Amino acid sequence: MTEKVYSVSFEVEGPAAMFTRPDTGSSPVSYPAPTKSALKSIFECVTFSKIAYFEPQRIEICSPIVFRKYSTNYGGPLRKSGTVNFQLFATILENVCYKVYGVILAYSPPFRGKNPQHQLQEMFMRRLSVGQFHTTPFLGWKEFVPTYFGPIRDTTAADKSINVTIPSMLSTMYTRPTDGKYAPQFRQDVKIEGGVMFFA
């Protein structure tokens, strides 16, 4: 018997995005594409479950990869003791557009007539179609709010001129998708071919 697949897709677009490379220190630089954990966070801006979760499988990059300098006044917990704030310099992405495809997985099979995978899939697609969010969606950093976040559009397509190899890319931050322990994992030689990147 073939296991049923609970597919989910969405498209997100915005003027700026930041998917930080952990190795870039106090002047952070973005990866050229979203990490798996960043896409999961975008999904969870619509709905969230502790017994089922979104697993990204593929992303289509629908606009050219353009980096630009960005500065902001930082007043968060990592600032030096005794200072009010300091200026943070970063290298971010400009004018991004992504089509995201994945599946809903669960920690246990359906039970007592309840199917957590179907429930999360249905709730996400219903809320996305009417623009109903659990929290404000963001593209990596919370100040980078998308101008479009909704169902896949026919007017956009993967930029086939994009062919990039990312030497090392953060895959996940935790041992499990929900309630996990801190344990970063990285993928090596991640390829973007014809504007498409797969998450192994």
What's the mean pLDDT in 7-19?
97
User: For residue 26, what pLDDT band results from cuts at 50, 70 and 90?
Assistant: confident
* Tens of pLDDT, residues 33-64: 999 999 999 999 999 888 899 999 999 999 99
- Adjacent-strand bridge partners of 30: 20
Average pLDDT over residues 140-157: 95
Q: What is the per-residue pLDDT for 161?
A: 97
Q: Global pTM?
A: 0.90
Which is it for strands 182-193 and 196-198: parallel, antiparallel or unpaired?
Answer: antiparallel
State the chain's maximal CA–CA distance in angstroms: 63
Is the model more confident about 75 or about 144?
144
Number of Cβ atoms within 10 Å of the Cβ of 103: 15
Distance separating alpha carbons of residues 10 and 78, to the nearest angstrom: 33
Residue 74 forms part of a structural domain: yes
Q: Average per-residue pLDDT in the chain? A: 91
Distance in angstroms (rounded) separating the CA atoms of residues 112 and 40: 28
Q: Sign of torsion, CA 111 114 117 120?
A: negative
Asked if the structure places residue 91 within a domain, the reply is: yes
Alpha helices in 52-171 (DSSP H): 116-130
- Structure tokens that stand for 137 in this block: 């969606």
Residue 78, pLDDT score: 66
Query: How many domains would you assign to the chain?
Result: 1
User: Residue length, the chain?
Assistant: 200
Q: Does residue 1 lie in a domain region? A: no
In-domain check, residue 43: yes
- The pLDDT value recorded for residue 1 is 46
Per-residue pLDDT tens for 81-113? 777 767 788 999 999 999 999 999 998 877 777
Collapse the DSSP code of 90 into the 3-class scheme (helix H, G, I; strand E, B; otherwise coil) and give the result: strand
Residue 2 inside a domain? The answer is no
Task: Identify any residues that bridge with 144 across adjacent strands, giving them in sequence order.
Answer: none
Asked if residue 148 lies in contact with residue 13, where contact means CB atoms within 8 angstroms, the answer is yes
**Structural domain span for residue 149:** 7-198
Q: Is residue 189 part of a domain?
A: yes
Tell me, what CATH number does 122's domain have? Answer: 3.30.70.2660
pLDDT for 166? 96
> 179 or 133: which carries more pLDDT confidence?
133
Residue 141 located in a structural domain: yes
Look at residue 126 and tell me if it is in a domain.
Answer: yes
CA atoms within 13 A on the CB side of 144: 24
3-state secondary structure (DSSP) of residue 39: helix
Residue 110, both tokens: 């359906």
